[in-house]
């Protein structure tokens, strides 16, 4: 059985999902693809078919001398399939949903941190990087004098290695 009781279920898993990107990544991918996480790991639900045969009818006394080669008669075949989503799959996807609900819609950070008290909560320090590829496009756009309908221009860049 894959379910391990006593692990705290959703909230425990949601915390692990938030804290452990390695653990979160396959669950995130499964959620995006709409498949159970266990399927990404290669699990296929097992399928079992049980065949039920009727007892061979008794040979009538007047045919006792004949060889009796009657095939058993198939009465029914019952196929059972393991569920597509395991209990662990459901727990992980539910925990992932809980984790997602706890994200800030503005920046994708932890909502709890983003909305903490300004005076007593955590503080943030901004860092800046510049995308030099985009910067090259914007510079080139600036150099165009009075471009007609600049919104329709399709820009691209080539990479020049040093």
Hey, which residues between 111 and 140 contact Zn ion (CB under 5 A)?
114
Give the whole-angstrom CA distance, residue 55 versus residue 133: 79
Residue 56 vs 107, nearer CB to Zn ion: 107
Residue 74 vs 107, nearer CB to Zn ion: 107
End-to-end Cα, the chain, rounded Å: 57
CB neighbour class for 89 (10 Å; exposed up to 12, middle 13-18, buried from 19): buried
Among 8, 83, 109, 147, binds Zn ion (CB under 5 A): 109
- Residue 41: half-sphere exposure toward Cβ, Cα within 13 Å: 14
Tell the smallest beta-carbon distance from residue 113 to Zn ion (Å).
8
Residue 56 vs 104, nearer CB to Zn ion: 104
Residue 54 vs 104, nearer CB to Zn ion: 104
Helix (H) or strand (E) run with residue 88 in it: helix 87-101
The verdict on 103 binding Zn ion (CB under 5 A) reads no
Tell the smallest beta-carbon distance from residue 116 to Zn ion (Å).
10
């Amino acid at each position: 059985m894959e379910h391990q009781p006593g692990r705290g279920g959703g909230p425990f898993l949601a915390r692990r999902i938030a804290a452990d990107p390695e653990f979160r990544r396959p669950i995130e991918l499964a959620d995006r693809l709409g498949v159970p996480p266990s399927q990404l790991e290669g699990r296929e639900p097992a399928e079992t078919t049980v065949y039920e045969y009727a007892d061979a009818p008794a040979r009538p006394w007047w045919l006792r001398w004949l060889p009796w080669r009657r095939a058993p008669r198939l009465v029914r075949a019952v196929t059972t399939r393991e569920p597509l989503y395991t209990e662990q799959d459901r727990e992980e996807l539910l925990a992932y949903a809980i984790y997602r609900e706890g994200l800030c819609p503005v920046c994708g950070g932890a909502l709890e941190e983003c909305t903490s008290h300004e005076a007593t909560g955590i503080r943030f320090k901004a860092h800046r990087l510049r995308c030099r590829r985009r910067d090259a496009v914007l510079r080139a756009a600036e150099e165009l004098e009075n471009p007609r309908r600049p919104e329709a221009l399709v820009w691209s860049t080539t990479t020049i290695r040093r």
